[in-house]
Amino acid sequence: MKTAILGASGYGGGELVRLIDAHPVFETSYLGAHSQAGEVLGTVHPHLDQPARELKPLTSELPGIDLAFIALPHGASAEIGVALSAAGIKVVDLGSDFRLDSNDRYRQAYGADHPHPETLVEWVYGLPELFGGAIRGAQRVAAPGCYPTASLLAIVPLVQAGLIGEGVVIDAMSGVSGAGRALRADLLYGAVDEGVRAYAVGRHRHRPEIEMALEAAVEQQLQLRFTPHLVPMQRGILATCTAPAARATSGDEVQAVLRDFAADKPFVAVLDEPPQTRWVVGSNRALLAGYHDPHTDSVIVMCVIDNLVKGAAGQAIQAANLMMGLDETAGLP
């Protein structure tokens, strides 16, 4: 199956190239980029340039392409995603332009109206562990953000089991690659090294996304308290989610609920110790661990993922596998 990667020069795009190069069915037929168009892939991803491959201009005219991945910054996917869809090409968007299901939610997250609000309902939210049935055979899929992926995999099974409800607090940490490849003074080595900082406190754009997906998965509205932190590492997400216990429970029950959830999900595993981000680097895995704190009668669950794989490129390929009728694990480590 011939695929196009639009935004191949970014971190997520590079991971897509790496994974599709090893995929048993997909092959990369078009690599599109903006500022790097005309260069070879090795200019930005030296480890992937075997043989030398040209970065071509971004375009929505891709004859012969079965599937397109869009790996562009926020705001850059909307027009090209609509055009690709109109051309009958199946699309997976790794960006944020189509993740929210209404213009009201989009405005809440991004402070402006969506340029094509009527198209939002046409996109399936692409978290396979929760919405695999809707993704299978879909034409348009919006891959979730990295923070929402880790948070939802931790929270949803506990809400479904009635162990937690209101009062969920998400304390999440991310490596700097989650901010993309653009040059920014606050992401330079000297600004990040040997420090941890919170950002977008009380206003991060992923909170509305998490609440939307949670509502769709458990059929109830929950308000979340979400605070992201930037840590001095290249890649990885750790989400620690805490909530008052909704009924009498124990640590064993929390772990049992998580294991039941993970039983039929090939990329989700439950550990008996707090997971570390280094354990998932380069893989599409999500590692969970749950606890009950009897002192405060709270439930605590942690999830780690690689933000560039399960939080971006790997998740997009997992969704694409389902869209194309393949096993969801095809080509994924």
Whether 146 is catalytic: yes
For 141, the token pair is: 């899929």
Q: 308-331: b or e for each residue (b if 16 or more CB lie within 10 Å)?
A: bbbbbbbbbbbbbbbbbebebebb
Q: Which of 82, 127, 120, 79 is nearest to 101 (CA)?
A: 120
Q: What is the 3-state secondary structure (H, E, C) of 56-112?
A: EECCCCCCCCCEEEECCCCCCCHHHHHHHHHCCCEEEECCCCCCCCCHHHHHHHHCC
Residue 51, preceding peptide bond in cis (omega within 30° of 0): yes
Distance between CA atoms of 125 and 211, rounded to whole angstroms?
A: 13
CA angle 211, 214, 215 (to 5 degrees): 85
Contact 298, 244 (CB under 8 A): yes
Q: Residue 186, SS3?
A: helix
Q: What CA–CA distances, in Å, run from 303 to 40, 141, 281, 299, 311?
A: 37, 23, 13, 14, 12
Instruction: Tally Cβ neighbours within 10 Å of residue 269.
Output: 17
CA-only gyration radius of the chain, Å: 19
Dihedral sign of CA atoms 246, 152, 183, 282 in order: positive
Q: Which of 146, 104, 145 is nearest to 121 (CA)?
A: 104
Q: Which position among 62, 71, 100, 146 bears the catalytic label?
A: 146
For 47, the token pair is: 């480890």
Catalytic residues: 146
